[in-house]
Amino acid sequence: MAVGRTAPILQIVGYQNSGKTTLTEKLIQAFSDKGMKVATIKHHGHGGYPEVPQKDSERHRWAGAVVSSVEGAGLLSLSSLRDKWPLQEIIRLYEFFEVDLILIEGYKTENYPKIVLLRSMEDISLLNKVENVMAVITWDDTIQSLGETYKAFHITEEAAYMEWFVQTVRGAR
């Protein structure tokens, strides 16, 4: 990849404890197994500075990400402090790492292709708050009907959704 060209981007979004970090780890491993260099960006959405070292971005690195960071309250833990780090600027910074894919955990209001994790019926409202939904992974059998509107998987269908994500992203490159 040439410097100045952004790698494909995939967002993983969901409410707290929906499995975002676990899914991100699995995606890192799946894409890395296919020979892709994966980078991750995590949004610390709980207010204030993220803890350094930040456990979720460390989990990304341990899973095989060639670069990982977390941003919260203007602290980008790669580490650089300023008033704010807009996601677009972090992505532009990542161009220098020459990665094949950027996985973003969080940043619900951004408009990149998204995997939305829905743990319960109450979480369905998230679909009205986000754009560019690529697929939905549900924990609740009663919301499997989303398959009529979205590409939907149950959390137990891991082999199927992992293969679908790898094929879809590799086809978009």
59 domain-assigned = yes
pLDDT tens figures, 147-163: 778 999 999 999 999 99
74 domain-assigned = yes
Tell me the pairing of strands 133-138 and 67-72.
Answer: unpaired
100 domain-assigned = yes
pLDDT score of 67: 86
pLDDT band at 15 (very low <50, low <70, confident <90, very high): very high
4 domain-assigned = no
Pick the closest to residue 106 from 167, 139, 60, 144 (CA basis): 60
- Across the chain, mean pLDDT equals 85
112 domain-assigned = yes
16 domain-assigned = yes
75 domain-assigned = yes
pLDDT score of 27: 96
- Global pTM value: 0.86
Query: Could you tell me the CA-to-CA distances from 138 to 9, 56, 162 in Å, in that order?
Result: 22, 21, 14
pLDDT mean over 1-12: 75
Q: Is the pLDDT of residue 22 over 60?
A: yes
Per-residue HEC secondary structure of the chain comes to: CCCCCCCCEEEEEECCCCCHHHHHHHHHHHHHHCCCCEEEEEECCCCCCCCCCCHHHHHHHHHCCCEEEEEECCEECCCEECCCCCHHHHHHHHHHHCCCEEEEECCCCCCCCEEEEECCHHHHHHHHCCCCEEEEEECCHHHHHHHHCCCEEECCCHHHHHHHHHHHHHHHC
Q: Is the pLDDT of residue 54 over 80?
A: no
Give residue 129's domain range: 9-172
Domain count for the chain, please give it: 1
pLDDT score of 34: 92
CATH code where residue 70 lies: 3.40.50.300
3 domain-assigned = no
pLDDT score of 51: 66
